[in-house]
Amino acid sequence: MRRFLKIERHAVVAAVALILAAMPFAGETAAGQSVSPSEFAYGADVSSVTEQEAAGLKFRDAKKKPADLYDLVKDKGIDSARLRVWVNPENKWSTREDVLVKAKRARDHGMRIMIDFHYSDNWADPGKQFKPAAWKDYDVAALTKAAADHTRDTLAYLKDNGIDVAWVQVGNEITNGMLWPDGKTDKFDNIARFTNAGYDVVKQIYPNAEVIIHIDNGWDTAKARWWFDEFTKNKGKVDVIGLSYYPEFTPSKNWRVESPKVSVTMNDLLSRFGKPVMLVEVGYQFDQPAEGRAMLSDIIVRNKALGENGRGVFYWEPGTIPTWSGYRLGSTNKANQLTAAMDAFRH
């Protein structure tokens, strides 16, 4: 996803899955009710909330009164929170300590939690997958150990502080690899080595958590197939395939044209690799809430059409206030209120 500063309606038959009672439960909500990571997730990435609050920004409810972002997204039907982790960022945001603060708030709101490891000191996405500064001279063996240690230290810290985790991403939008240059896509064996190191640690600390491998451009079926073909050939481990989908960054910029392609990709990956699929990042222009709601409603139906193998949809940073970040694909208006686009998550 490009970061800060940075159908025709088709009828889709939704085959909504019943929750499989026999699946292992990942943990408990604040109310004490066990919830499986396989239950469909209506999610939001809220990683910037503490930074925005520290800057003095206030979210507002429909009556323009100050409100907690967690209350606002929960009222919209969002039941799961996604939180990014950086290794040694220049500021205190997205460190394990900052993530714990946000994870506790998610837990106390009864939300399931997804942890998103970037394995970088800052944004990692298809255009940049830079090693943390402390790892810059590491060889492949040392990078593998460092990725495992960072994953272990972060997750053990969360667990020791009472946080349960339903899903873990080992890498963020790693379409073009990770930990460059050692983990570029001409070295898929290294990509698998790095992600497997994270995968194994996740299972040691949160045995029932599902590990997500995440690439971008969910509309590009050929690239997604190629990527997971290579990953699989190199014995990469994955529980859930994660995709990004931003209509703004598609060839036509028209979700009515591009969303059917996402359906093709999801079905192709499911049939080819036998893994569930989740949309872990979705976004639309904040100032087009009606269209955003229509797009979201449609993509939710499309993911649910996979039955039990459609695991959910996460909006990327609905709480990003455009006047603060310059980012236009959140879902907060200029009055700092969540827009009607988020009503698509009501269920």
pLDDT tens, per residue, the chain with 347 residues: 545 433 333 333 333 333 333 333 334 444 334 457 889 999 999 999 999 999 999 999 999 999 999 999 999 999 999 999 999 999 999 999 999 999 999 999 999 999 999 999 999 999 999 999 999 999 999 999 999 999 999 999 999 999 999 999 999 999 999 999 999 999 999 999 999 999 999 999 999 999 999 999 999 999 999 999 999 999 999 999 999 999 999 999 999 999 999 999 999 999 999 999 999 999 999 999 999 999 999 999 999 999 999 999 999 999 998 888 899 999 999 999 999 999 999 99
Q: What is the pLDDT of residue 4?
A: 46
With CA atoms as reference, report the closest residue to 179 among 165, 155, 198: 198
Stated pTM of the model: 0.90
Q: What is the pLDDT of residue 1?
A: 53
Q: Which residues contact 1 (CB under 8 A, 6 or more apart)?
A: 125, 173, 216, 244, 246, 249, 281, 283, 316
- For residues 16-50, one letter each, b for 16 or more C-beta atoms within 10 angstroms of the residue's C-beta and e for the rest, the string is ebeeeeeeebbbebeeeeebbbbbbbbbbbbbbbb
Cα(179)–Cα(151) distance, integer angstroms:
14
CATH of 37-345, one of 2.102.10.10, 3.20.20.80, 3.40.50.2000, 3.40.50.150: 3.20.20.80
Residue 74 three-state SS: helix
CB 317 within 8 A of CB 330: yes
Domain boundaries, the chain: 37-345
Pairing between β-strand 34-35 and β-strand 27-28 as defined by DSSP bridges: antiparallel
| Per-residue tokens: 291 | 């269209």
Write out pLDDT tens, residues 291-346. 999 999 999 999 999 999 999 999 999 999 888 889 999 999 999 999 999 999 99
Cα(287)–Cα(79) distance, integer angstroms:
24
Q: What is the pLDDT of residue 235?
A: 98
